[in-house]
Amino acid sequence: MANPLLEVRQLNVAYGDVRALWDVSLEVEEGSIVALVGANGAGKTTLLKSIAGLLRPLGGQILFEGEDLGRLNTKHRVDKGIVMVPEGRRLFQTLTVLENLRLGAYLPKARAGYDDSLDRVFTLFPRLQERKNSKAGLLSGGEQQMLAIGRAVMAGPRLVMIDEASLGLSPILTRHIFELIVALNGQGATVLLVEQNIHMALKICSKAYVMKTGHIVLSGTGEELLADVDVRKAYVGERGSRL
């Protein structure tokens, strides 16, 4: 069997003396959507940051296309196609939409594909084309999330890691963003999704991992986990709404 696109093996991460991840392992197959769910403080963002090269693990391995990323810095990981959409979007507020997108395609490889990537982003998010000269800080919440994802698309990603795409968005906008994530995946990008809106994340993913206090406590297909009584009770809630 071919290697998964991303494989995390026995990853351990700490902030100073505080342990954040304990022997975390997961696999993301090429072309899939994988969801990572769990309560606040479970270690989801820590895991994404470690994969992005923003945190140095204590031990364990992160393999991309079968190759150990070791101590490779963020720049080289982005160059390999590992791109993160950070929690809270983290747009450059005083820069225009177009400038934000340009920074997403900063590295030489991404810059070479700039025109194609820009077309792709504007096809996916026509709203961004209309507002391309606006300052990012003046966009609505939904537009900002589109820009955050669009900025990641500009890097020509193989793997897009999206941290809390639905944060602060209305249910309608959340559904729209999820549709766009599915569309992005349909264009060939593999997606690793961290979500508090567990119900919706489980519906669109092919596989999901549940995290709790730094451990992976459960994994399975989206349907399996949706059907799992424990997960429903612990994370999805009675009416299947958000936490």
Partner 1 sequence: MSSLIQVVINGILLGSMYGIAAVGLSLIFGTMRIIFIAQGTMIVLFAYLVYWASIKAGVDPYLSLLWVVPFAFILGLGLFYVLFRKAAALEDRNVSLLLAVGLMYLIDNLILKLWSATPRGLDIPYSDAMIVVSGIRVSWLRLALLGLGLGSALVVYLFLKRTRVGTAVRAASEDMEATTIQGINSVWVCAISFAIGIAMAGVAGVGMATVYSFDYQFGFVFAIKALVALALGGIGNVFGALAGGLILGIIENLAAYYVGIEWIEVASYGIFMLVLIFLPQGLFGRRGLVKKV
**Residue type present at position 227:** A
Measured distance CA(35)–CA(53) in Å, rounded: 20
| Angstrom distances, CA of residue 5 to CA of 27, 71, 112 | 8, 18, 23
Measured distance CA(67)–CA(75) in Å, rounded: 16
Q: What does the binding site for partner 1 look like in residue numbers (CB under 8 A)? A: 52, 54, 74-75, 77-79, 83-84, 86, 90-95, 99, 102-104, 106-107, 110, 151, 155
Nearer Cβ to partner 1 (155/208): 155
CB of 90 vs partner 1, minimal distance in Å: 4
Question: Integer distance in angstroms from the first to the last C-alpha of the chain?
Answer: 37
Nearer Cβ to partner 1 (145/208): 145
CB of 184 vs partner 1, minimal distance in Å: 18
Helix, strand and coil percent figures for the chain, each rounded to 5:
40, 25, 35
Nearer Cβ to partner 1 (84/231): 84
CB of 149 vs partner 1, minimal distance in Å: 13
Strands (E) in 65-214, as ranges, are 67-68, 82-85, 159-163, 190-195, 207-212
Nearer Cβ to partner 1 (22/114): 114
Measured distance CA(31)–CA(10) in Å, rounded: 23
Nearer Cβ to partner 1 (164/231): 164
**Residue type present at position 218:** L
**Number of residues in the chain:** 243
CB of 107 vs partner 1, minimal distance in Å: 5
CB of 103 vs partner 1, minimal distance in Å: 5
